[in-house]
């Protein structure tokens, strides 16, 4: 099962990054290197991976409150050792690129999901707050609706 989950998440990442590779100064392709190279155990306050993610999210135009919530989810997934699938959803594979895209494209859904993850400490009610699952065209449409150009070509 975990191979299927990992494969789905890798495919999802490739699709997301091919839709939008950069938002402003934030390079979503290299975000993983920017965020996940910060030490988790011996880091400096304000320079943990979740802090770096929050700064990138703000640079990309994510609302302050949503960037703070995303930071909390990113941190809790690690500190409370959530499942590998949830860690991946919360930025621990792609550096949070998909989280940034969701925060910009569907902020209300992101709030609902992320609050549920925090409240349930990694055991969300999937019926009440399902994982955000947009097909590439829908994601591109939603991003373009908020002024973020995508690389999706329609024929």
User: pLDDT tens for residues 32-46?
Assistant: 999 999 999 888 999
Most confident of 7-21, 123-137, 139-153: 139-153
Which two structure tokens, joined as six digits, stand for 110? 């992101």
Between 70 and 19, the higher pLDDT residue = 70
| pLDDT of 97 strictly over 50 | yes
For the chain, the average pLDDT equals: 89
What is the pLDDT at residue 154?
73
pTM of structure = 0.87
Instruction: Identify whether the C-beta of residue 13 lies closer than 8 Å to the C-beta of residue 98.
Output: yes
Angle, vertex CA 126, rays to CA 35 and CA 11, nearest 5 = 45
CA-CA distance, 46 to 7, in Å (whole number)?
32
């Amino acid at each position: 099962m975990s191979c299927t989950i990992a494969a789905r998440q890798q495919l999802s990442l490739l699709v997301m990054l091919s839709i939008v590779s950069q938002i402003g100064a934030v390079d979503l392709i290299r975000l993983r290197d920017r965020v996940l190279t910060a030490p988790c155990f011996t880091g400096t306050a304000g320079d943990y991976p979740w802090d770096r993610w929050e700064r990138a999210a703000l640079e990309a135009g994510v609302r302050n409150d949503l960037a703070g919530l995303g930071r909390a989810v990113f941190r809790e997934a690690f500190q409370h050792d959530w499942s590998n699938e949830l860690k991946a959803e919360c930025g621990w594979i792609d550096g949070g690129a998909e989280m940034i895209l969701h925060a910009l494209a569907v902020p209300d859904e992101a709030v609902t999901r992320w609050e549920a993850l925090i409240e349930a400490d990694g055991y969300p009610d999937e019926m009440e707050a399902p994982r955000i699952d947009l097909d590439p065209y829908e994601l591109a449409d939603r991003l373009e609706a908020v002024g973020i150009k995508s690389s999706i070509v329609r024929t």
